[in-house]
């Protein structure tokens, strides 16, 4: 899978974790011919997107806009602010949380969701499998 990473948050390099997770997703889900855009933003930017497209006036951790045209899975927006907050709350590393949000967004772009208990179980198991293979443990 080809990752188009756009860092609109700061000048830090987040590509190692994101590419590691994307490579693992590629192997587990057979996505070699696909591409996806991952855009890193702050809480204000993701809140504006959440309000505009979901009518929710609050910052969130990840938003996915699936595409599917010409093997492009779509756009995944990740709030680095939320990633930092949640890593502290959940008492695991920033890299683990960034990996989780990346795989979560990729799975949403493929049509996975967590609206029902059954769908949530399936998505959680797949996320855990990918994160464990990428060695991003809790």
The confidence score (pLDDT) of residue 7 equals: 96
The confidence score (pLDDT) of residue 70 equals: 85
Angle CA 83–85–91, to nearest 5 = 95
The confidence score (pLDDT) of residue 54 equals: 96
The confidence score (pLDDT) of residue 29 equals: 92
Contact 36, 45 (CB under 8 A): no
């Amino acid at each position: 899978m080809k990752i188009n990473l756009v860092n609109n948050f700061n000048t830090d390099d987040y590509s190692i974790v994101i590419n590691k997770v994307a490579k693992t997703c590629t192997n587990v889900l057979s996505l070699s011919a696909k591409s996806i855009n991952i855009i890193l933003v702050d809480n204000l930017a993701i809140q504006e997107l959440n309000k505009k497209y979901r009518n929710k006036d609050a910052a969130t951790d990840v938003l996915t806009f699936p595409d599917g045209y010409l093997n492009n899975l779509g756009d995944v927006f990740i709030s680095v602010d939320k990633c930092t907050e949640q890593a502290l709350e959940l008492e695991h590393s920033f890299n683990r949380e960034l990996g989780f949000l990346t795989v979560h967004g990729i799975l949403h772009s493929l049509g996975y969701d967590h609206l029902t208990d059954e769908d949530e179980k399936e998505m959680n198991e797949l996320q855990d499998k990918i994160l464990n293979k990428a060695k991003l443990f809790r």
